[in-house]
Amino acid sequence: MIISENSHTATMALLPSFRTIITRFYRPTKPPPQLIFSSLLFPKKLSSLFPLPPKPQPLKPLASTRQETSFVSNRDERLVGLGSVNDGGSIETQSSTSTIAAIVTSLGGPPAAVGIVRLSGPNAVDIAGRVFSPAKKKKGFDSGSGSWKPKSHIVEYGVVLDSQGNVVDEVLAVPMLAPKSYTREDVVELQCHGSEVCLRRVLKACLEAGARLAEPGEFTLRAFLNGRLDLSQAENVGKLISAKSVAAADAALAGMQGGFSTLVRSLRGQCIELLTEIEARLDFEDEMPPLDVNIIMDSIHAMSQDVEHALETANYDKLLQSGLQIAIVGRPNVGKSSLLNAWSKSERAIVTEIAGTTRDVVEASVSVAGVAVTLLDTAGIRETDDIVEKIGVERSEAVAMGADVIIMTVSAIDGWTLEDTKLVERIRSNMGSASIPMILVINKIDCASSACSDWVNREAKLFSKHVFTCAITGQGIHDLEKSILEIVGLDKIPAGGRRWTVNQRQCEQLMRAKEALVRLKSTIEEELPLDFWTIDLKEAALALGQISGDDISEEILSNIFGKFCIGK
């Protein structure tokens, strides 16, 4: 379709009297070029003779413009229903159509009570509706279809659900509809619990529901582009953003420690290498030896693994910052406090023979493979009438729910008891659908008869791992640490760790690369034609290039020419 930029002719069409003006006053002896002619239409002289409408003409001064132009975009009549791709004429007014999301409160310090995830963009309400479920269902609200219709600036209470429908956090949703918002777009702020884990989970849910992670400063940029900030502020924003984008584009890697940038560059290099091989075969059919699919699959596999490792590192990185919380639970007097003392090599918890000694939650810090681990010793969980102990039990259960890993301790002397079964059931039911990994620790192994193996084998199936310990001698603590590392996925990190930081943006691009590689594998497995391999390979290279700030197309071409003998 032809899109005309210029309403020039329309204006004149509305003024039929012009025709007479022209024929009467302007009789050229020789047809002048169009441009000169039309420029004669609006000189000051004419307008004084024939009063033009006083409104300014929607004309650019012809001296500086040349001829108007129609732009033809991609359109395929066969693809009806898929929407047509074109720019229309209105781009100037709509600079942003995507909906962005980010954690807007600061991270990294001690956890604040409240943290905020902000969504901004035309689909902010839709996306919020997909993840947010208000506690009081209003009439007509259906969380499945995402038809949340909030009133602007009215706070709603509810929960955020992830894509599987699990509750992620309790939140307050604050809708601020356009234009009464910071960015002058629809904005929804989700006020979550302040811990980093909560915030990241909520953000992830939003991204999964269709939002894009905001670039640094993008909310402010939008506020500026949408006229929320005035001109004097805008100049400053301009400087700010350009400084930030320089950092984001080419120094995103350079600023970081070497390891990660090397990895990303090498991965991207491999993608481009593969693309080069494939593209050369597509553009120069006859002159290339056939591709070896096995070699390609191997290298894709290796690349996926590298991406996977980088993502694991991201995970490790997060753990480095926030640490692990491990709750030790169990019946009274199974040696929980002894375990904590032995592990932390301290006398942090009071240990007696009396069941129910520990009434409150006792904390101790240890370091496991460089990760700060907070051990939480809890009151033994049992039915009790003692008011203090009762509160302690409730706290134990709450702590268990908030932990990253739960250690369920039993005594080898007593074996598996009915109380143990009840306790585990209770924890599991409290957990609901969120699954916190549980490790079974069989303590006091030194005092046990050798006949405990059959119940251990039976019950251990319900746990992620089981470990035998003796809190008094410290036996088994090492095994316990190993099990924990395995459960949180840190066992693959080499000793010493990879000391690089992967931020959320990079993590998102790594995910994108990973998904592209997964799709690529299935494309190859389904034996789709060679051309289709390039689509996801390009996607992966683009995602990795986003991290390193490079562009690809020209590079592939020069590679083709440099590497292969092609051409006729």
Partner 1 sequence: MSILSVHLSRLTRHHFPFSSLLFPSSRPYYHACAPSRRNLRFSVIKRFPFRCICSFPATNSIADRNRNVEVGEEKYDVIVVGGGHAGCEAALASARLGAKTLLLTLNIDRIAWQPCNPAVGGLAKSQLVHEVDALGGEIGKVADRCYLQKRVLNVSRGPAVRALRAQTDKREYAMQMKNVVESTPNLSIREAMVTDILLGKNDNVEGVCTFFGMNFYAPAVILTTGTFMSGKIWVGRTSMPAGRAGESASHGLTENLQRLGFESDRLKTGTPARVDCRTVDFSVLEPQLGDEEVSWFSFDPDFHIEKEQMCCYLTRTTKSTHQLIKDNLHETPTYGGWVEAKGPRYCPSIEDKIVRFQDKESHQIFLEPEGRTVPELYVQGFSTGLPERLQLPLLRTLPGLENCSMLRPAYAVEYDYLPAHQCSRSLMTKKIDGLFFSGQINGTTGYEEAAAQGIISGINAARHSDGKPLIVLERESSYIGTLIDDLVTKDLREPYRMLTSRSEHRLLLRSDNADSRLTPLGREIGLIDDRRWKIYQDKQARISDEKKRLKTVRISGGDLAADVSHFSGQPVKESSTLESLLKKPHIEYKLLDKHGFGNEMLSRTEKECVEIDIKYEGFIIRQRNQLQQMVHQQHRRLPEDLDYYAMTTLSLEAREKLSKVRPQTIGQASRVGGVSPADITALMIILETKRRKAQEVRRHQIRASVMVDTVENLSDTLTEAVGTHKCG
Closest C-alpha to 508, from 76, 215, 182: 215
Q: Give the position of tokens 């699954």.
A: 435
Residues in 265-284 at the binding interface with partner 1, rule: CB under 8 A = 279, 281-284
Residue 362 structure tokens? 């006792």
Cα angle 216-217-218, degrees, rounded to a multiple of 5? 95
Phi first, then psi, for residue 153 (nearest 5°) are 60, 25
Given 44, 66, 136, 151, the residue binding partner 1 (CB under 8 A):
66
C-alpha torsion sign, points 345, 349, 351, 355 = negative
Q: Is 385 exposed, middle or buried (0-12, 13-18, 19+ CB in 10 A)?
A: exposed
Q: Does 80 bind partner 1 (CB under 8 A)?
A: yes
Residues in 387-406 at the binding interface with partner 1, rule: CB under 8 A = none
Phi-psi region of 31 (alpha: psi -120 to 50; beta: other; left: phi over 0): beta
Rounded to whole angstroms, how far apart are CA atoms 462 and 437? 10
Given 49, 74, 208, 313, the residue binding partner 1 (CB under 8 A):
74
Residue 494 amino acid letter: P
Given 24, 44, 92, 135, the residue binding partner 1 (CB under 8 A):
92
Task: Supply the minimum distance, in Å, between the C-beta of residue 544 and partner 1.
Answer: 14
Given 35, 114, 391, 447, the residue binding partner 1 (CB under 8 A):
35
Residues in 203-262 at the binding interface with partner 1, rule: CB under 8 A = 224-225, 227, 231, 234-235, 237-239, 241-242, 245-246, 248-250
Q: Would you say 447 or 530 has its CB closer to partner 1?
A: 530
Q: Does 556 bind partner 1 (CB under 8 A)?
A: yes
Stretch that binds partner 1, among 1-9, 110-118, 265-273, 356-364 (CB under 8 A): 1-9
Q: Does 139 bind partner 1 (CB under 8 A)?
A: no
Q: Would you say 62 or 320 has its CB closer to partner 1?
A: 62
Given 43, 109, 286, 383, the residue binding partner 1 (CB under 8 A):
286
Given 49, 85, 114, 388, the residue binding partner 1 (CB under 8 A):
85
Given 43, 44, 45, 56, the residue binding partner 1 (CB under 8 A):
56
Closest C-alpha to 439, from 470, 411, 481: 481
CB neighbours of 141 closer than 8 A, spacing ≥ 6?
A: 134, 147, 148, 149
Residues in 534-553 at the binding interface with partner 1, rule: CB under 8 A = 535, 549, 551, 553
Residue 524 amino acid letter: I
Rounded to whole angstroms, how far apart are CA atoms 278 and 560? 10
Given 1, 154, 293, 447, the residue binding partner 1 (CB under 8 A):
1
- Interhelix angle 218-225/231-249, rounded to 10 degrees, is 140
Given 84, 147, 305, 473, the residue binding partner 1 (CB under 8 A):
84
Q: Would you say 37 or 157 has its CB closer to partner 1?
A: 37
Given 24, 140, 164, 285, the residue binding partner 1 (CB under 8 A):
285
Find residue 325's DSSP bridge partners.
Answer: 374
Residue 486 structure tokens? 């395995």
Q: Does 385 bind partner 1 (CB under 8 A)?
A: no
Q: Is 6 exposed, middle or buried (0-12, 13-18, 19+ CB in 10 A)?
A: middle
Stretch that binds partner 1, among 17-25, 385-393, 429-437, 472-480 (CB under 8 A): 17-25
Q: Does 491 bind partner 1 (CB under 8 A)?
A: no
Q: Would you say 79 or 302 has its CB closer to partner 1?
A: 79
Element holding 213 (H helix, E strand): strand 212-213
Q: Does 65 bind partner 1 (CB under 8 A)?
A: yes
Q: Does 98 bind partner 1 (CB under 8 A)?
A: yes
Given 353, 383, 385, 554, the residue binding partner 1 (CB under 8 A):
554
Stretch that binds partner 1, among 15-23, 336-344, 432-440, 455-463 (CB under 8 A): 15-23
Stretch that binds partner 1, among 7-15, 122-130, 336-344, 368-376 (CB under 8 A): 7-15
Element holding 199 (H helix, E strand): helix 196-208
Q: Does 24 bind partner 1 (CB under 8 A)?
A: no
Given 24, 27, 45, 151, the residue binding partner 1 (CB under 8 A):
27
| Widest pairwise Cα distance in the chain | 120
Compute how many other C-beta atoms are within 10 angstroms of the C-beta atom of residue 135.
9
Rounded to whole angstroms, how far apart are CA atoms 499 and 491? 15
362-368 and 438-443 beta bridge pairing: unpaired
Task: Supply the minimum distance, in Å, between the C-beta of residue 86 and partner 1.
Answer: 5
Task: Supply the minimum distance, in Å, between the C-beta of residue 320 and partner 1.
Answer: 30
Stretch that binds partner 1, among 67-75, 104-112, 349-357, 458-466 (CB under 8 A): 67-75
Residues in 322-381 at the binding interface with partner 1, rule: CB under 8 A = none
- Interhelix angle 530-548/258-283, rounded to 10 degrees, is 150
Closest C-alpha to 179, from 232, 147, 132, 227: 227
Residue 356 amino acid letter: G
How many residues of this chain bind partner 1 (CB under 8 A)?
107
CA 458 to chain centre: 40
Task: Supply the minimum distance, in Å, between the C-beta of residue 133 and partner 1.
Answer: 28
